[in-house]
Amino acid sequence: MLETGTVGDDRRPALIAAALQSLARDHRNLVDAPVVPFPGGAGIHDPSGSFVWLDIQPERLLGAAIALHLRRGTSRLDIVIPDIHRDVAPTVARRAAQWNIPIEVFSLEEKSLQAVVPAPAPPEQECKFDIDPFRSVISEAGAEVVIEHGLLTGEVAGLEVCRVVFEDEWRLRVGVGSQDREAFHTLHGDAPILDSLVRVVEFVQTYRQPTADPHPLNRLSPERWMRSTFTSERSQASPALAHMPGVLPRGSMSDASPAFAVSELDGVSTLFAFTTGADLGALVDAADHAHWSAHQSEVSEIVVVVDGRNRLPVLDAIAERSVKPMRVISRSELASL
């Protein structure tokens, strides 16, 4: 039975297919059932249910599994989490419970399937250092102060331009991403941090504009740029509109990851999830976020905002099954809210 391996292994899709067929035969009495691969996993679909193996970021790929289940019209959805992802299996189980769909999550242990108990979302971590000196420098330079899961960064239109890192002591380093921070420090050494950050902020601002020429700086973190534009436009009309981190720590700036904001108006809490591309995982992220204990009041509605060209019917089909009321709108529809 398949337990280990890497996603990049050319043999892995064939091994997953063989393992999934074996599991379907042993646990669902499905013999010679065809395996349907999809990016990041594979599934067997029978009227009695969908049997889906999630092999890449299963906590987000759950969105694709739900979409396949709905498209096939099967009676239930069983998720298999391989051994290499056993640590995130409880997270997948928690997220599976946030949908009005019969879903059960199993971890693969040798040749047996074990039902996974959902784990609560962890609380947001606090910074391990005094944030005030760094906050003042970032603000004075014209960047937005962002604190997420114990990290303090500065952003310009949603793009990170500096970060507090530990190097014998906590220091503010300037740059877009880790490699840029290292290069900037190599070139400029211990130049006055405020002056350096001001220059970077001004440079980035020229490219984080809707009319700017194409540039790598306006292709990074598009979800956070969308959120930044929305919140800056609505800040006076909706003073209670605030950014929030995702439930799970963010990966690299190139990773697909929705950007979140919450609005408290007339006692009603609305969670906004901004996403670009056809990211089914964004709806799973958003549903998980709406149940997170970090919210000061219970979320009443989830609004997922997408680019108009990615306003796909499958998103509406998934959103209709959310336990918390969820709807999907295009970016142009934001003005009517």
Q: Is the pLDDT of residue 25 over 50?
A: yes
Phi, psi for 325 (deg, rounded to 5): -55, 130
Does 5 score more than 50 pLDDT?
Answer: no
Which is higher by pLDDT, 337 or 263?
263
Report CA dihedral (18, 20, 25, 30) to the nearest 10 degrees: -110
Q: How do residues 265-277 score in pLDDT, each as one tens digit?
A: 667 889 999 999 8
d(CA 219, CA 253): 10
| 152-176: average pLDDT | 94
Considering 1-5, 154-158, 217-221, the range whose residues carry the highest mean pLDDT is 154-158
Confidence of residue 8 (pLDDT cuts 50, 70, 90): low
SS3 249: coil
Grade residue 233 by pLDDT with cuts at 50, 70 and 90: confident
pLDDT for 3 equals 47
Cβ–Cβ < 8 Å for 260, 246: yes
* Pick from 92, 152, 123: nearest CA to 247: 123
Spell out where 204-321 has E strands. 242-244, 259-265, 268-274, 299-306
pLDDT tens digits, 94-107:
999 999 999 999 99
Number of Cβ within 10 Å of residue 11's Cβ equals: 8
Give tens-digit pLDDT for 62-76.
Answer: 999 999 999 999 999
Confidence check: pLDDT of 149 > 80: yes
pTM comes to: 0.91
Q: φ, ψ for residue 259 (rounded to 5)?
A: -105, 135
Share of residues in the chain with pLDDT > 90 (%): 68
Tokens 């306006």 label which residue? 218
Cβ neighbours for 179, distance < 8 A, ≥ 6 positions apart: none
Largest CA distance in the chain: 69
CA triple 194-198-202, angle to 5 deg: 175
What band does 132 get if pLDDT is binned at 50, 70 and 90?
A: very high
Which run of H or of E encompasses 66? Answer: helix 58-72
Q: How confident is the model at residue 238 (pLDDT cuts 50, 70, 90)?
A: low
Distance CA 233, CA 229 (A): 6
> pLDDT value at position 4?
43
Model pLDDT, residue 6? 47
Lowest mean pLDDT among 141-145, 220-224, 237-241: 237-241
DSSP E strands in the chain: the ranges are 36-38, 41-46, 49-54, 77-81, 103-109, 112-115, 144-148, 151-156, 159-167, 169-174, 242-244, 259-265, 268-274, 299-306, 326-330
239 pLDDT band, cuts 50/70/90, is: low
Find tokens 């091994």 and name the residue: 15
The edge-to-edge listing of strands for the beta sheet with 103-109 is: 36-38, 41-46, 49-54, 77-81, 103-109, 112-115
pLDDT recorded at residue 73: 92
The pLDDT mean for the chain works out to 90
Q: What is the pLDDT, as a whole number, of residue 21?
A: 92
